[in-house]
A and B are shown apart, each in its own frame.
Chain A
Protein backbone atom coordinates (compact mmCIF):
# COMPACT_ATOMS: atom_id res chain seq x y z
CA UNK A 1 0.00 0.00 0.00
CA UNK A 2 1.39 3.37 -1.00
CA UNK A 3 -0.20 5.21 1.92
CA UNK A 4 -1.89 8.59 1.65
CA UNK A 5 -1.40 10.91 -1.29
CA UNK A 6 -1.95 14.64 -1.05
CA UNK A 7 -2.51 16.40 -4.34
CA UNK A 8 -0.64 19.70 -4.34
CA UNK A 9 -2.68 22.82 -5.10
CA UNK A 10 -0.42 25.29 -6.80
CA UNK A 11 -0.38 27.81 -9.60
CA UNK A 12 2.89 29.09 -11.06
CA UNK A 13 4.75 27.47 -8.16
CA UNK A 14 2.70 29.23 -5.48
CA UNK A 15 1.55 26.47 -3.18
CA UNK A 16 -1.74 26.87 -1.38
CA UNK A 17 -1.60 26.54 2.38
CA UNK A 18 -4.25 23.82 2.34
CA UNK A 19 -1.64 21.51 0.80
CA UNK A 20 0.47 21.77 3.96
CA UNK A 21 -2.63 21.38 6.10
CA UNK A 22 -3.42 18.09 4.38
CA UNK A 23 0.18 16.83 4.59
CA UNK A 24 0.28 17.65 8.31
CA UNK A 25 -3.00 15.83 8.87
CA UNK A 26 -1.96 12.82 6.77
CA UNK A 27 1.02 12.31 9.11
CA UNK A 28 -1.50 11.25 11.78
CA UNK A 29 -2.58 8.23 9.77
CA UNK A 30 0.65 6.38 10.58
CA UNK A 31 1.19 5.40 6.97
CA UNK A 32 3.47 6.66 4.23
CA UNK A 33 2.63 10.21 3.15
CA UNK A 34 3.27 11.47 -0.35
CA UNK A 35 2.77 14.78 -2.08
CA UNK A 36 1.72 14.59 -5.72
CA UNK A 37 2.52 17.63 -7.79
CA UNK A 38 1.65 18.26 -11.43
CA UNK A 39 2.93 21.25 -13.34
CA UNK A 40 5.85 22.76 -15.16
CA UNK A 41 9.10 23.39 -13.33
CA UNK A 42 7.59 22.03 -10.13
CA UNK A 43 10.34 19.60 -9.14
CA UNK A 44 12.06 22.44 -7.31
CA UNK A 45 9.11 22.53 -4.91
CA UNK A 46 9.77 19.00 -3.60
CA UNK A 47 11.77 20.02 -0.48
CA UNK A 48 8.80 22.17 0.62
CA UNK A 49 6.64 19.08 0.99
CA UNK A 50 9.34 17.13 2.83
CA UNK A 51 9.33 19.84 5.49
CA UNK A 52 5.74 19.01 6.26
CA UNK A 53 6.26 15.30 6.36
CA UNK A 54 6.16 14.00 2.79
CA UNK A 55 8.06 10.74 2.59
CA UNK A 56 7.78 10.79 -1.17
CA UNK A 57 7.04 13.46 -3.73
CA UNK A 58 5.56 12.31 -7.02
CA UNK A 59 6.53 14.91 -9.60
CA UNK A 60 4.81 15.05 -12.97
CA UNK A 61 6.20 17.66 -15.32
CA UNK A 62 5.13 18.72 -18.78
CA UNK A 63 3.54 21.44 -20.87
CA UNK A 64 0.23 19.63 -20.76
CA UNK A 65 0.22 19.92 -16.95
CA UNK A 66 1.33 23.56 -16.70
CA UNK A 67 -2.15 24.64 -15.57
CA UNK A 68 -5.04 22.60 -14.28
CA UNK A 69 -7.15 20.99 -16.97
CA UNK A 70 -9.48 18.16 -16.10
CA UNK A 71 -8.85 15.74 -18.95
CA UNK A 72 -5.06 15.61 -18.74
CA UNK A 73 -4.91 15.63 -14.94
CA UNK A 74 -7.48 12.85 -14.59
CA UNK A 75 -5.78 10.65 -17.21
CA UNK A 76 -2.44 11.09 -15.46
CA UNK A 77 -3.73 10.53 -11.94
CA UNK A 78 -5.79 7.49 -12.92
CA UNK A 79 -2.70 5.88 -14.46
CA UNK A 80 -0.63 6.65 -11.35
CA UNK A 81 -3.25 5.27 -9.00
CA UNK A 82 -3.38 2.01 -10.89
CA UNK A 83 0.40 1.76 -10.89
CA UNK A 84 1.25 2.81 -7.31
CA UNK A 85 -2.02 1.92 -5.53
CA UNK A 86 -2.35 4.59 -2.85
CA UNK A 87 -4.76 3.81 -0.04
CA UNK A 88 -6.22 7.32 -0.08
CA UNK A 89 -5.89 10.45 -2.20
CA UNK A 90 -6.74 13.82 -0.67
CA UNK A 91 -7.51 16.94 -2.69
CA UNK A 92 -8.26 20.46 -1.53
CA UNK A 93 -11.92 21.44 -1.76
CA UNK A 94 -11.21 24.26 -4.19
CA UNK A 95 -12.83 24.79 -7.59
CA UNK A 96 -10.07 22.78 -9.23
CA UNK A 97 -9.83 20.14 -6.51
CA UNK A 98 -13.51 19.22 -6.55
CA UNK A 99 -13.65 19.19 -10.34
CA UNK A 100 -10.58 16.93 -10.51
CA UNK A 101 -11.65 14.56 -7.75
CA UNK A 102 -15.21 14.04 -9.06
CA UNK A 103 -14.18 13.23 -12.60
CA UNK A 104 -11.37 11.01 -11.35
CA UNK A 105 -13.67 9.20 -8.94
CA UNK A 106 -16.07 8.32 -11.72
CA UNK A 107 -13.29 7.25 -14.06
CA UNK A 108 -11.73 4.85 -11.56
CA UNK A 109 -15.10 3.77 -10.14
CA UNK A 110 -14.37 5.11 -6.67
CA UNK A 111 -16.34 6.77 -3.90
CA UNK A 112 -15.56 10.34 -3.00
CA UNK A 113 -16.44 12.54 -0.05
CA UNK A 114 -16.21 16.25 -0.80
CA UNK A 115 -15.71 19.24 1.49
CA UNK A 116 -14.66 17.14 4.47
CA UNK A 117 -14.07 19.03 7.70
CA UNK A 118 -12.51 16.07 9.47
CA UNK A 119 -10.99 12.77 8.43
CA UNK A 120 -10.02 9.48 10.01
CA UNK A 121 -8.06 7.13 7.81
CA UNK A 122 -6.73 3.90 9.21
CA UNK A 123 -6.32 0.30 8.13
CA UNK A 124 -7.60 1.05 4.67
CA UNK A 125 -10.76 2.62 6.02
CA UNK A 126 -11.69 6.26 5.46
CA UNK A 127 -14.38 8.06 7.42
CA UNK A 128 -15.02 11.74 6.85
CA UNK A 129 -17.10 14.40 8.55
CA UNK A 130 -19.10 16.82 6.42
CA UNK A 131 -21.04 19.96 7.25
CA UNK A 132 -24.32 19.69 5.34
CA UNK A 133 -27.48 21.79 4.97
CA UNK A 134 -25.42 24.98 5.12
CA UNK A 135 -23.75 23.80 8.32
CA UNK A 136 -27.06 23.07 10.07
CA UNK A 137 -26.23 19.35 10.25
CA UNK A 138 -23.20 17.14 10.08
CA UNK A 139 -22.73 13.70 8.62
CA UNK A 140 -20.09 11.03 8.91
CA UNK A 141 -19.48 9.23 5.67
CA UNK A 142 -17.35 6.23 4.89
CA UNK A 143 -15.83 5.72 1.46
CA UNK A 144 -16.20 2.03 0.79
CA UNK A 145 -13.98 1.79 -2.28
CA UNK A 146 -10.27 1.38 -2.89
CA UNK A 147 -8.77 3.90 -3.14
CA UNK A 148 -10.46 6.32 -0.77
CA UNK A 149 -10.94 9.77 -2.31
CA UNK A 150 -11.80 12.99 -0.52
CA UNK A 151 -11.62 16.74 -0.89
CA UNK A 152 -10.74 18.64 2.28
CA UNK A 153 -12.06 22.06 3.23
CA UNK A 154 -9.19 24.58 3.49
CA UNK A 155 -8.42 25.77 6.99
CA UNK A 156 -9.73 22.82 8.98
CA UNK A 157 -6.38 21.20 9.76
CA UNK A 158 -3.41 22.79 11.52
CA UNK A 159 -0.16 23.12 9.66
CA UNK A 160 2.55 21.30 11.60
CA UNK A 161 6.08 21.87 10.45
CA UNK A 162 8.87 19.59 11.55
CA UNK A 163 7.41 16.17 10.78
CA UNK A 164 10.27 16.06 8.28
CA UNK A 165 9.95 13.31 5.69
CA UNK A 166 12.54 12.02 3.27
CA UNK A 167 10.88 13.76 0.35
CA UNK A 168 12.21 11.18 -2.08
CA UNK A 169 11.35 12.33 -5.59
CA UNK A 170 9.52 9.82 -7.76
CA UNK A 171 8.89 10.59 -11.41
CA UNK A 172 6.00 8.60 -12.80
CA UNK A 173 5.74 8.15 -16.54
CA UNK A 174 3.63 10.77 -18.29
CA UNK A 175 0.36 9.06 -19.17
CA UNK A 176 -1.74 11.98 -20.43
CA UNK A 177 -1.68 13.06 -24.06
CA UNK A 178 -3.30 15.89 -26.01
CA UNK A 179 -6.12 13.48 -26.87
CA UNK A 180 -7.17 13.53 -23.20
CA UNK A 181 -7.76 17.28 -23.24
CA UNK A 182 -11.34 18.36 -23.95
CA UNK A 183 -11.44 21.83 -22.44
CA UNK A 184 -9.76 24.72 -24.22
CA UNK A 185 -8.84 27.35 -21.66
CA UNK A 186 -9.11 30.54 -23.69
CA UNK A 187 -8.29 32.95 -20.96
CA UNK A 188 -7.40 33.06 -17.28
CA UNK A 189 -7.83 36.35 -15.49
CA UNK A 190 -6.09 36.27 -12.14
CA UNK A 191 -7.60 38.19 -9.28
CA UNK A 192 -5.01 40.76 -8.39
CA UNK A 193 -5.01 41.72 -4.76
CA UNK A 194 -2.38 42.65 -2.24
CA UNK A 195 -4.57 41.09 0.44
CA UNK A 196 -4.44 37.43 1.45
CA UNK A 197 -6.82 35.07 -0.29
CA UNK A 198 -10.02 34.54 1.73
CA UNK A 199 -9.67 30.82 2.32
CA UNK A 200 -6.07 31.25 3.49
CA UNK A 201 -6.33 34.42 5.58
CA UNK A 202 -5.75 34.32 9.35
CA UNK A 203 -8.21 37.17 9.75
CA UNK A 204 -11.16 38.02 7.51
CA UNK A 205 -13.04 41.31 7.73
CA UNK A 206 -16.34 41.33 5.86
CA UNK A 207 -18.72 44.09 4.93
CA UNK A 208 -22.43 43.72 4.24
CA UNK A 209 -25.37 45.85 3.22
CA UNK A 210 -24.91 47.83 6.43
CA UNK A 211 -21.83 49.42 4.80
CA UNK A 212 -24.33 51.25 2.59
CA UNK A 213 -21.90 51.78 -0.29
CA UNK A 214 -18.25 51.95 -1.39
CA UNK A 215 -17.41 54.47 1.37
CA UNK A 216 -18.52 52.05 4.04
CA UNK A 217 -16.53 49.29 2.38
CA UNK A 218 -13.44 51.53 2.51
CA UNK A 219 -13.80 51.69 6.29
CA UNK A 220 -13.91 47.90 6.41
CA UNK A 221 -10.88 47.63 4.11
CA UNK A 222 -8.90 49.99 6.28
CA UNK A 223 -9.50 47.75 9.28
CA UNK A 224 -8.59 44.69 7.21
CA UNK A 225 -5.31 46.18 6.01
CA UNK A 226 -4.34 47.11 9.54
CA UNK A 227 -4.72 43.45 10.52
CA UNK A 228 -3.25 42.04 7.29
CA UNK A 229 -6.64 40.47 6.77
CA UNK A 230 -8.57 39.21 3.79
CA UNK A 231 -11.67 41.21 2.82
CA UNK A 232 -14.97 39.47 2.23
CA UNK A 233 -18.59 40.38 1.71
CA UNK A 234 -22.14 39.17 2.01
CA UNK A 235 -24.22 38.50 -1.06
CA UNK A 236 -25.87 41.89 -0.57
CA UNK A 237 -22.62 43.84 -0.81
CA UNK A 238 -21.34 41.67 -3.67
CA UNK A 239 -24.57 42.00 -5.67
CA UNK A 240 -24.46 45.75 -5.11
CA UNK A 241 -21.09 45.73 -6.84
CA UNK A 242 -19.16 47.10 -3.87
CA UNK A 243 -16.83 44.09 -3.83
CA UNK A 244 -15.69 41.55 -6.43
CA UNK A 245 -17.77 38.37 -6.68
CA UNK A 246 -14.78 36.22 -5.69
CA UNK A 247 -15.02 37.83 -2.25
CA UNK A 248 -18.46 36.49 -1.39
CA UNK A 249 -18.52 34.51 1.84
CA UNK A 250 -21.25 31.94 2.30
CA UNK A 251 -23.00 29.01 0.79
CA UNK A 252 -22.68 30.31 -2.75
CA UNK A 253 -19.31 31.88 -2.22
CA UNK A 254 -16.27 30.87 -0.25
CA UNK A 255 -16.25 28.92 2.97
CA UNK A 256 -13.69 30.58 5.21
CA UNK A 257 -12.11 29.23 8.35
CA UNK A 258 -9.92 32.02 9.73
CA UNK A 259 -8.74 32.46 13.27
CA UNK A 260 -10.80 35.67 13.48
CA UNK A 261 -13.84 36.77 11.46
CA UNK A 262 -15.11 40.33 11.79
CA UNK A 263 -18.58 40.92 10.29
CA UNK A 264 -19.47 44.57 9.71
CA UNK A 265 -23.06 45.40 8.84
CA UNK A 266 -23.95 41.78 8.07
CA UNK A 267 -27.24 40.40 9.40
CA UNK A 268 -26.07 36.78 9.53
CA UNK A 269 -28.46 35.02 7.13
CA UNK A 270 -28.10 31.25 7.25
CA UNK A 271 -26.45 31.26 3.80
CA UNK A 272 -23.81 33.65 5.09
CA UNK A 273 -23.27 31.70 8.31
CA UNK A 274 -22.65 28.59 6.19
CA UNK A 275 -19.49 30.25 4.98
CA UNK A 276 -17.98 31.50 8.21
CA UNK A 277 -19.52 30.01 11.35
CA UNK A 278 -16.64 27.57 11.81
CA UNK A 279 -14.17 30.47 12.24
CA UNK A 280 -12.32 30.21 15.54
CA UNK A 281 -13.27 33.64 16.87
CA UNK A 282 -16.16 35.69 15.53
CA UNK A 283 -17.07 39.27 16.20
CA UNK A 284 -19.65 41.53 14.59
CA UNK A 285 -20.64 45.15 14.55
CA UNK A 286 -24.32 45.64 13.84
CA UNK A 287 -26.87 48.29 14.80
CA UNK A 288 -29.59 45.69 15.32
CA UNK A 289 -29.25 43.88 18.67
CA UNK A 290 -31.53 41.14 17.30
CA UNK A 291 -29.41 40.44 14.20
CA UNK A 292 -28.90 36.67 13.84
CA UNK A 293 -25.15 37.18 13.42
CA UNK A 294 -25.02 37.69 17.22
CA UNK A 295 -26.04 34.05 17.55
CA UNK A 296 -22.57 33.00 16.42
CA UNK A 297 -20.36 35.78 17.77
CA UNK A 298 -17.94 35.39 20.66
CA UNK A 299 -17.94 39.15 21.07
CA UNK A 300 -20.71 41.25 19.56
CA UNK A 301 -20.90 45.00 19.34
CA UNK A 302 -24.31 46.58 18.95
CA UNK A 303 -23.42 49.79 17.22
CA UNK A 304 -22.95 51.83 14.09
CA UNK A 305 -20.02 50.56 12.04
CA UNK A 306 -19.41 54.06 10.67
CA UNK A 307 -18.64 55.16 14.22
CA UNK A 308 -17.19 52.03 15.84
CA UNK A 309 -14.83 50.82 13.09
CA UNK A 310 -12.85 54.07 12.64
CA UNK A 311 -12.49 54.32 16.44
CA UNK A 312 -11.40 50.69 16.50
CA UNK A 313 -8.76 51.44 13.87
CA UNK A 314 -7.45 54.31 16.04
CA UNK A 315 -7.49 52.08 19.09
CA UNK A 316 -5.57 49.28 17.31
CA UNK A 317 -2.98 51.75 16.05
CA UNK A 318 -2.16 52.77 19.61
Chain B
Protein backbone atom coordinates (compact mmCIF):
# COMPACT_ATOMS: atom_id res chain seq x y z
CA UNK B 1 0.00 0.00 0.00
CA UNK B 2 1.13 3.48 -0.81
CA UNK B 3 0.31 6.72 1.02
CA UNK B 4 0.59 10.13 -0.53
CA UNK B 5 0.86 13.13 1.78
CA UNK B 6 0.15 16.70 0.64
CA UNK B 7 2.60 19.08 2.27
CA UNK B 8 2.38 22.84 1.95
CA UNK B 9 5.18 25.22 2.69
CA UNK B 10 3.99 27.96 5.03
CA UNK B 11 5.39 30.84 7.04
CA UNK B 12 6.71 30.09 10.48
CA UNK B 13 3.66 30.58 12.70
CA UNK B 14 5.60 33.16 14.74
CA UNK B 15 6.50 35.24 11.66
CA UNK B 16 5.73 38.93 11.70
CA UNK B 17 3.64 39.85 8.68
CA UNK B 18 4.43 42.86 6.50
CA UNK B 19 3.12 44.04 3.18
CA UNK B 20 5.24 44.87 0.16
CA UNK B 21 3.75 46.19 -3.07
CA UNK B 22 0.31 45.30 -1.77
CA UNK B 23 1.22 41.68 -1.16
CA UNK B 24 2.29 39.67 1.87
CA UNK B 25 6.07 39.90 1.93
CA UNK B 26 8.10 36.75 2.44
CA UNK B 27 11.36 38.65 2.89
CA UNK B 28 13.31 37.25 5.82
CA UNK B 29 10.54 34.79 6.71
CA UNK B 30 11.45 31.35 7.95
CA UNK B 31 9.49 28.87 5.83
CA UNK B 32 8.27 25.67 7.42
CA UNK B 33 6.14 22.66 6.67
CA UNK B 34 2.53 23.47 7.56
CA UNK B 35 2.22 22.09 11.13
CA UNK B 36 -0.92 20.09 10.25
CA UNK B 37 0.88 18.50 7.32
CA UNK B 38 3.77 17.59 9.58
CA UNK B 39 1.23 15.64 11.63
CA UNK B 40 -0.04 13.95 8.46
CA UNK B 41 3.53 12.98 7.51
CA UNK B 42 4.08 11.57 11.00
CA UNK B 43 0.84 9.59 10.71
CA UNK B 44 1.98 8.13 7.40
CA UNK B 45 5.42 7.19 8.73
CA UNK B 46 3.85 5.47 11.73
CA UNK B 47 1.67 3.42 9.37
CA UNK B 48 4.81 2.39 7.54
CA UNK B 49 6.57 1.48 10.77
CA UNK B 50 3.58 -0.70 11.66
CA UNK B 51 3.91 -2.26 8.21
CA UNK B 52 0.35 -1.27 7.33
CA UNK B 53 1.72 0.51 4.30
CA UNK B 54 4.93 0.20 2.35
CA UNK B 55 5.67 3.61 0.85
CA UNK B 56 5.22 7.27 1.83
CA UNK B 57 5.31 9.80 -0.99
CA UNK B 58 5.03 13.52 -0.28
CA UNK B 59 3.74 16.07 -2.77
CA UNK B 60 3.96 19.85 -2.60
CA UNK B 61 2.64 22.42 -5.04
CA UNK B 62 4.60 25.64 -5.13
CA UNK B 63 7.85 27.26 -6.15
CA UNK B 64 11.34 25.75 -6.01
CA UNK B 65 11.51 26.89 -2.40
CA UNK B 66 8.96 24.20 -1.52
CA UNK B 67 11.75 21.68 -2.15
CA UNK B 68 12.91 22.43 1.41
CA UNK B 69 9.54 21.36 2.75
CA UNK B 70 9.70 18.13 0.77
CA UNK B 71 13.20 17.50 2.18
CA UNK B 72 11.89 18.05 5.72
CA UNK B 73 9.23 15.39 5.15
CA UNK B 74 11.86 13.08 3.64
CA UNK B 75 14.15 13.65 6.62
CA UNK B 76 11.30 12.61 8.91
CA UNK B 77 11.17 9.30 7.05
CA UNK B 78 9.12 9.69 3.87
CA UNK B 79 10.48 7.77 0.88
CA UNK B 80 10.28 10.16 -2.04
CA UNK B 81 8.83 13.46 -3.13
CA UNK B 82 7.04 15.24 -5.96
CA UNK B 83 7.25 18.97 -6.51
CA UNK B 84 4.40 20.33 -8.59
CA UNK B 85 5.67 23.64 -9.88
CA UNK B 86 2.96 26.21 -9.51
CA UNK B 87 2.60 29.90 -8.81
CA UNK B 88 2.15 30.22 -5.04
CA UNK B 89 -0.71 32.67 -5.70
CA UNK B 90 -2.86 29.92 -7.23
CA UNK B 91 -6.21 29.65 -5.46
CA UNK B 92 -7.55 26.58 -3.62
CA UNK B 93 -9.29 25.32 -6.73
CA UNK B 94 -6.22 25.54 -8.95
CA UNK B 95 -4.03 23.98 -6.28
CA UNK B 96 -6.48 21.11 -5.81
CA UNK B 97 -6.58 20.53 -9.57
CA UNK B 98 -2.77 20.48 -9.78
CA UNK B 99 -2.34 18.21 -6.77
CA UNK B 100 -5.13 15.86 -7.86
CA UNK B 101 -3.47 15.41 -11.26
CA UNK B 102 -0.16 14.49 -9.61
CA UNK B 103 -1.91 12.18 -7.15
CA UNK B 104 -3.78 10.41 -9.93
CA UNK B 105 -0.50 9.54 -11.63
CA UNK B 106 0.63 7.83 -8.43
CA UNK B 107 -2.61 5.97 -7.79
CA UNK B 108 -2.12 5.78 -3.98
CA UNK B 109 -4.29 3.80 -1.55
CA UNK B 110 -4.52 6.68 0.88
CA UNK B 111 -4.06 10.45 0.59
CA UNK B 112 -3.28 12.41 3.72
CA UNK B 113 -3.24 16.18 4.18
CA UNK B 114 -3.57 18.81 6.86
CA UNK B 115 -7.09 20.04 7.54
CA UNK B 116 -6.01 23.64 7.09
CA UNK B 117 -2.89 25.54 6.09
CA UNK B 118 -1.70 27.87 8.83
CA UNK B 119 -1.01 30.77 6.44
CA UNK B 120 -3.94 31.88 4.32
CA UNK B 121 -5.36 28.38 4.45
CA UNK B 122 -8.97 27.78 3.75
CA UNK B 123 -9.66 24.14 4.64
CA UNK B 124 -10.67 23.42 1.08
CA UNK B 125 -7.85 21.74 -0.78
CA UNK B 126 -8.11 18.15 0.56
CA UNK B 127 -11.89 18.02 0.15
CA UNK B 128 -11.67 19.46 -3.34
CA UNK B 129 -9.02 16.86 -4.23
CA UNK B 130 -11.36 14.10 -3.01
CA UNK B 131 -14.19 15.39 -5.18
CA UNK B 132 -11.95 15.70 -8.25
CA UNK B 133 -10.74 12.13 -7.80
CA UNK B 134 -14.21 10.85 -6.88
CA UNK B 135 -12.94 9.54 -3.54
CA UNK B 136 -14.46 9.59 -0.05
CA UNK B 137 -12.92 11.91 2.52
CA UNK B 138 -12.84 12.53 6.25
CA UNK B 139 -11.65 15.84 7.70
CA UNK B 140 -10.04 16.91 10.98
CA UNK B 141 -9.12 13.46 12.21
CA UNK B 142 -7.58 12.67 15.56
CA UNK B 143 -7.02 8.94 14.98
CA UNK B 144 -6.77 6.55 12.05
CA UNK B 145 -7.02 2.76 11.75
CA UNK B 146 -6.53 0.92 8.48
CA UNK B 147 -7.96 -2.57 8.04
CA UNK B 148 -9.62 -4.62 5.31
CA UNK B 149 -9.37 -1.87 2.72
CA UNK B 150 -11.11 0.60 5.00
CA UNK B 151 -10.07 3.61 7.07
CA UNK B 152 -11.77 4.31 10.37
CA UNK B 153 -11.15 7.69 11.95
CA UNK B 154 -12.16 9.69 14.97
CA UNK B 155 -12.70 13.27 14.02
CA UNK B 156 -13.87 16.53 15.44
CA UNK B 157 -17.46 17.36 14.65
CA UNK B 158 -19.85 20.12 15.64
CA UNK B 159 -21.04 19.46 19.16
CA UNK B 160 -19.00 16.32 19.69
CA UNK B 161 -16.67 13.82 18.14
CA UNK B 162 -17.48 11.12 15.66
CA UNK B 163 -16.14 7.90 14.30
CA UNK B 164 -16.38 7.53 10.54
CA UNK B 165 -15.49 4.70 8.21
CA UNK B 166 -14.68 5.03 4.52
CA UNK B 167 -13.46 2.65 1.84
CA UNK B 168 -9.95 3.16 0.50
CA UNK B 169 -8.63 4.92 -1.44
CA UNK B 170 -9.71 8.01 0.47
CA UNK B 171 -8.54 11.51 1.33
CA UNK B 172 -8.04 12.16 5.03
CA UNK B 173 -7.06 15.44 6.69
CA UNK B 174 -5.41 15.74 10.08
CA UNK B 175 -5.99 17.72 13.24
CA UNK B 176 -2.82 18.41 15.28
CA UNK B 177 -3.99 16.29 18.19
CA UNK B 178 -3.63 13.15 16.05
CA UNK B 179 0.04 12.68 16.97
CA UNK B 180 3.27 14.36 18.00
CA UNK B 181 5.52 14.74 14.93
CA UNK B 182 9.12 13.58 15.32
CA UNK B 183 12.11 15.79 14.73
CA UNK B 184 14.22 14.60 11.80
CA UNK B 185 17.36 12.86 13.02
CA UNK B 186 20.81 13.80 11.74
CA UNK B 187 20.85 10.52 9.85
CA UNK B 188 17.41 11.27 8.43
CA UNK B 189 18.56 14.65 7.19
CA UNK B 190 21.59 13.10 5.48
CA UNK B 191 19.48 10.37 3.87
CA UNK B 192 16.86 12.88 2.71
CA UNK B 193 19.44 14.51 0.45
CA UNK B 194 19.70 11.31 -1.56
CA UNK B 195 16.01 10.44 -1.74
CA UNK B 196 14.39 10.96 -5.15
CA UNK B 197 12.26 14.03 -5.81
CA UNK B 198 10.47 14.39 -9.14
CA UNK B 199 9.49 17.79 -10.49
CA UNK B 200 6.42 18.24 -12.65
CA UNK B 201 4.59 21.28 -13.99
CA UNK B 202 1.14 22.04 -12.65
CA UNK B 203 -1.74 21.41 -15.01
CA UNK B 204 -3.34 24.69 -16.06
CA UNK B 205 -6.45 25.79 -14.19
CA UNK B 206 -8.35 29.02 -13.92
CA UNK B 207 -8.80 30.45 -10.42
CA UNK B 208 -12.32 30.79 -9.08
CA UNK B 209 -11.62 33.52 -6.58
CA UNK B 210 -9.64 36.72 -6.93
CA UNK B 211 -7.73 38.49 -4.19
CA UNK B 212 -8.67 42.15 -4.30
CA UNK B 213 -6.36 43.39 -1.60
CA UNK B 214 -4.28 42.50 1.40
CA UNK B 215 -4.14 44.59 4.52
CA UNK B 216 -2.97 44.58 8.08
CA UNK B 217 -5.50 44.52 10.90
CA UNK B 218 -6.04 47.88 12.57
CA UNK B 219 -3.70 48.23 15.54
CA UNK B 220 -5.57 47.77 18.76
CA UNK B 221 -5.66 50.82 21.02
CA UNK B 222 -3.58 50.27 24.10
CA UNK B 223 -5.82 49.27 26.98
CA UNK B 224 -5.58 49.91 30.67
CA UNK B 225 -3.20 47.73 32.67
CA UNK B 226 -3.27 47.75 36.45
CA UNK B 227 -0.87 46.41 39.06
CA UNK B 228 -2.71 46.66 42.35
CA UNK B 229 -3.30 44.62 45.48
CA UNK B 230 -5.58 41.68 44.67
CA UNK B 231 -8.66 43.13 46.37
CA UNK B 232 -8.31 46.49 44.61
CA UNK B 233 -7.61 44.74 41.29
CA UNK B 234 -10.64 42.48 41.75
CA UNK B 235 -12.93 45.45 42.44
CA UNK B 236 -11.72 47.35 39.39
CA UNK B 237 -11.98 44.26 37.20
CA UNK B 238 -15.54 43.65 38.41
CA UNK B 239 -16.34 47.23 37.44
CA UNK B 240 -14.88 46.67 33.96
CA UNK B 241 -16.82 43.43 33.50
CA UNK B 242 -20.16 44.82 34.65
CA UNK B 243 -20.04 48.43 33.50
CA UNK B 244 -17.76 48.55 30.48
CA UNK B 245 -18.26 45.12 28.93
CA UNK B 246 -21.79 45.05 30.37
CA UNK B 247 -21.68 41.35 31.19
CA UNK B 248 -24.30 40.13 33.64
CA UNK B 249 -24.08 37.94 36.67
CA UNK B 250 -26.28 34.98 35.77
CA UNK B 251 -25.87 32.54 38.63
Could you tell me which A residues sit within 8 Å of B by CB distance?
A: 9, 11, 16, 68, 70-71, 94-96, 98-99, 102-103, 105-107, 109-115, 127, 130-145, 182-191, 197, 202-203, 225-229, 245-246, 251-252, 259-260, 262, 270-271, 277, 280-283, 285, 289, 294-304, 307-309, 311-312, 314-318
Contact = CB atoms under 8 A, between A and B. Distances in A.
Nearest to B223: A298
Contact of A139 (B164, B211, B220, B235): B211
Interface of B: 11, 13-17, 19, 24, 91-93, 96, 118-120, 122-124, 127-128, 130-132, 136-140, 142, 152, 155-167, 175-177, 207-217, 220, 223-228, 230-231, 233-238, 240-242, 244-251
A109 B235 CA distance: 57
A127 B211 CA distance: 9
A137 B127 contact: no
B128 to A, nearest CB: 4
B247 A203 contact: yes
Contact of B208 (A16, A111, A190, A246): A111
Contact of B160 (A105, A183, A188): A188
Contacts of A302: 225-227
Contacts of A252: 175-177
A227 B220 contact: no
B237 A283 contact: yes
Given A252-B175, A283-B241, A137 B230 contact: no
A103 B170 CA distance: 14
Contacts of B15: 133, 136
Please name the 6 residue pairs, one residue from A and one from B, whose CB atoms are nearest each other, closest first. A111-B208, A228-B250, A311-B234, A106-B131, A102-B127, A182-B136
Given A106-B128, A143-B209, A298-B245, 20 more contacts: A16-B158, A98-B123, A102-B124, A111-B209, A112-B92, A112-B124, A139-B120, A145-B208, A186-B162, A188-B162, A226-B249, A260-B241, A283-B237, A298-B240, A301-B225, A301-B228, A303-B227, A315-B234, A316-B241, A318-B238
Main secondary structure of the interface of A (DSSP, over half): mixed
Contacts of B234: 308-309, 311-312, 314-315
Contacts of B16: 136
Contacts of B247: 202-203, 227, 229, 259-260
A110 B164 CA distance: 27
A307 B229 CA distance: 10
A184 B164 CA distance: 5
Nearest to A317: B249
Given A138-B215, A300-B224, A183 B122 contact: no
A127 B213 CA distance: 11
A316 B249 contact: yes
Contacts of A96: 157-158
A308 B240 CA distance: 14
B152 A186 contact: yes
A251 B118 contact: yes
A129 B244 CA distance: 28
A271 B13 contact: yes
Contacts of B13: 134, 251, 270-271
9 contacts: A95-B158, A131-B217, A133-B119, A138-B215, A271-B13, A277-B220, A301-B237, A308-B234, A316-B242
A110 B208 contact: yes
B96 A183 contact: no
A102 B15 CA distance: 28
Contacts of A140: 211-215
A142 B96 CA distance: 19
Nearest to B224: A299
